[in-house]
Amino acid sequence: MVPSTAYRVPDLVARYADMFSAMGTAPRLRIMQLLLSAHPTGLVVGDIQNELDIPNSTLSHHLDKLKNEGLVQIRREGTFLRYTASVDALQELLGFLYAECCTRNKAIKPSGILQIRK
Amino acid sequence: MVPSTAYRVPDLVARYADMFSAMGTAPRLRIMQLLLSAHPTGLVVGDIQNELDIPNSTLSHHLDKLKNEGLVQIRREGTFLRYTASVDALQELLGFLYAECCTRNKAIKPSGILQIRK
DNA sequence: ACCATGTTTCGACATTACCGGAAATACGGA
DNA sequence: TCCGTATTTCCGGTAATGTCGAAACATGGT
């Protein structure tokens, strides 16, 4: 018996919720901001630590969470680990929000997103 | 002695983090989707409950969280409470994400947000 | 093999979050 | 005032999360 599609389709809403949750604390949102500001080069853990003043073990947990939700990408450079913001994930998330607010339901006018921001 | 601006400026990052956190669980993200799909009319609590099949007390907690982060607006209609998605809050949040990803750091091309979405 | 540096894991704690049944409250109508 | 419906508050249990020092691990160089 073939299971209904509901079983096979990964729950996108749950996935996006997890992404939002990963950006749902100030330290992690700051990390993402920092990585975006250093895009596409990214930063090594020590740089992030110095910039945000987070203890190494705490920082490692936050980075792990961001990694698990696919929001950052990692590559090794000798003894360093370089983290970069995942453009794909952020684009997906931004696209989801945009679709829900602007495309599907037209609750927000696209022009409203481009606000003056100092 | 004048305190540095860092003291007076409310921490916007923390605020946005709280908003992301509020949308960071599947039940609450579904509630926001539902309210957006019913925008601008909104829905009364009972409708949301029937639609999402969440016990009343649990639902009330989620709605309270969304209210506290300013993501929904409420008005009373007799014995009913009508919830609507807060366009202002969502626009602010979307604007923040857009600015961080597209404007400030140009990590994502704006055209990439408008993806085909079924 | 050893060392220095960078990063993660371990272990523990406090805090907060999620969930839901039962009771309490709010409102409008009879 | 009493009743029925709508919604919240109260209370408890359980699980998840944020934090961080200390120890372990990884890597490249000597």
Question: B113 and A98: CB-CB below 8 Å?
Answer: yes
CA distance B19 to B5: 23
Question: Is B22 in a helix, a strand, or coil?
Answer: helix
- Of A6-15, B54-63, B90-99, the range with the lowest mean pLDDT is A6-15
Q: What is the pLDDT of residues A46-63, one digit of tens each?
A: 999 999 999 999 999 999
Residues in CB range of A84: below 8 A, 6 or more apart? A35, A38, A39, A40, A41, A42, A72, A73, A74, A75
Question: For residue B1, what are its two tokens?
Answer: 């002695």
Question: Is B72 in a helix, a strand, or coil?
Answer: strand
Residue B22, number of CB atoms within 10 A of its CB: 25
Question: For residue B85, what are its two tokens?
Answer: 């998605």
Question: For residue B62, what are its two tokens?
Answer: 């989620």
Touching check for A5 and chain B: CB below 8 Å? no
Question: A25 and B17: CB-CB below 8 Å?
Answer: yes
Domain A10-86: top CATH class = mainly alpha
Q: Does domain B9-86 have CATH number 1.10.10.10?
A: yes
pLDDT at B29: 98
List of long-range contacts for B55-61, beta carbons under 8 Å, 24+ apart: B58/B27, B59/B31
Nucleotides of D strand lying within 7 Å of any protein CB atom: 4-10, 17-23, 26-29
Nearest-5° angle of CA A15, CA A113, CA A12? Answer: 10
Question: B95 and A103: CB-CB below 8 Å?
Answer: no
Q: What is the pLDDT of residues B13-31, one digit of tens each?
A: 999 999 999 999 999 999 9
Q: How confident is the model at residue B9 (pLDDT cuts 50, 70, 90)?
A: low
